[in-house]
Amino acid sequence: MRIMGIDPGIAIVGFGFIDKNGSKLTPVQYGCIQTEAHTPDEDRLVHVYEGMVQLIEKYEPQMVAFEKLFFSRNVTTAMSVSQARGVAILAAAQKGLPIAEYTPMQVKQAIVGYGKAEKRQVQEMVRMFLNLQKIPKPDDVADALAVAVCHAHSYVLNSKLNEVLKK
């Protein structure tokens, strides 16, 4: 099964594709979609959307996992990032892909076992889970891989819970 993890943003959208085969996780590709500062938001959103579509078509994930947004201060930034997240979700939904969402605390819990883990701890565990030589940069890329790994660890249990709840 191929999972695409997304760390949404307006300037940088981190992405990571991993394959899950049994308990083995293998990195496929990872990086980021970047938009230029001082570019109109509508142009940045088109770039994010088109980048997502190209990645989905090229790497053919079976599901996409997004990090849920959390902002406590800058409302302007929150709006722009929310819009970018929305067009990324739209790209996945238009391709008919199942979408999962995880809070930063859920990702940390799944990766490190502690919901308030430090970012560096999460990044190091992602590096180890995926047998990478070094932690991917920028941080958005490592975060996207963490979301994908979180989903790989969580989706079976979540699927079974959803089946039970539907009955």
Q: Is 67 a catalytic residue?
A: yes
Note the pLDDT tens digit of each residue in 84-102.
Answer: 999 999 999 999 999 999 9
Q: How far is CA 42 from the centre of its chain?
A: 22
Active-site option among 19, 42, 67, 118:
67
- The mean pLDDT of 143-156, rounded to a whole number, is 92
Using alpha carbons only, what angle is made at residue 52 by residues 3 and 94, rounded to the nearest 5 degrees?
85
Active-site option among 7, 42, 60, 139:
7
Taking a C-beta distance cutoff of 8 angstroms, is the pair 97, 56 a contact?
Answer: yes
SS3 10: coil
Instruction: Look at the pTM and tell me if it is higher than 0.95.
Output: no
